[in-house]
Amino acid sequence: MASQNKPSLPVIKRLPRYYRYLGEMAANGVVKISSSELARMMGTTASQVRQDFNCFGGFGQQGIGYNVQMLHEELGKLLFSPRAVPTILIGAGNLGHTMANYFKLDTKGFELLAAFDIKPELVGTTLCGVTVRPFSEIESFCREMNPKVAVVCIPREAAKHAAPQLIELGIKAFWNFSHYDFRIDYPEAIVENVHLGDSLATLSYEVNNMENTNG
């Protein structure tokens, strides 16, 4: 469906939540949902829901609402490529292991090809179905397999050191768990930063604010 307005980043970031909620409803046999009902689930307004969907041409009819299964499928087409995006994992420690397991069990639109690490004790092991390779092999691997996405699960300085090589090897996007922001030095890169400390600090503020308000 043709886009009517260029979607903003906040709109794009809401799409996965819409998709998840609609998938749960479809699994529970829900057939139709109104913008008001969907807004209550999202914690927003019916007007905002309609504006979000109008960025992609709109999916419902006035007074009728949305077909849950159809809307879920249409959002899936927007979010996920029909062909899995080749992906590599940088860092095969505890966090890397968790992310590899996520790719194996719960991700779509991406195919994890290999993992890389500098630790000799990890090299050669199997991580959720993929082989952990020495980082020294990343150039030859990328030249052959042409991955487009890297999941970065290494410390900040290591990520900063690896960044020029990853960019040069054609990595276009980063699911980034390091504290190094690739966009500072490589503004053309697509980066989704996941900072667990930021998330926990936000939760801390909300808890403290709730206690201060109630107190």
Residue ranges, CATH 3.40.50.720, the chain: 85-197
| Cα 194 to Cα 215: distance, rounded to the nearest angstrom | 33
pLDDT digits (tens, 9 = 90+) for 182-191: 999 999 999 9
pLDDT digits (tens, 9 = 90+) for 16-70: 999 999 999 999 999 999 999 999 999 999 999 999 999 988 786 666 889 999 9
Q: How many residues does the chain have?
A: 215
Question: What pLDDT was estimated at residue 212?
Answer: 60
Residue ranges, CATH 1.10.10.10, the chain: 9-78
Strand partners, 149: 87, 173
Average per-residue pLDDT in the chain? Answer: 90
Question: What pLDDT was estimated at residue 3?
Answer: 46
| Cα 115 to Cα 102: distance, rounded to the nearest angstrom | 14
Judge residue 83's burial from the number of C-beta atoms within 10 Å of its C-beta, 0-12 exposed, 13-18 middle, 19 or more buried. exposed
117 has pLDDT over 60: yes
pLDDT digits (tens, 9 = 90+) for 133-186: 999 999 999 999 999 999 999 999 999 999 999 999 999 999 999 999 999 999
Q: What is the pTM of this model?
A: 0.84
CATH 1.10.10.10 fits 9-78, yes or no: yes
CATH architecture for residues 85-197: 3-Layer(aba) Sandwich (3.40)
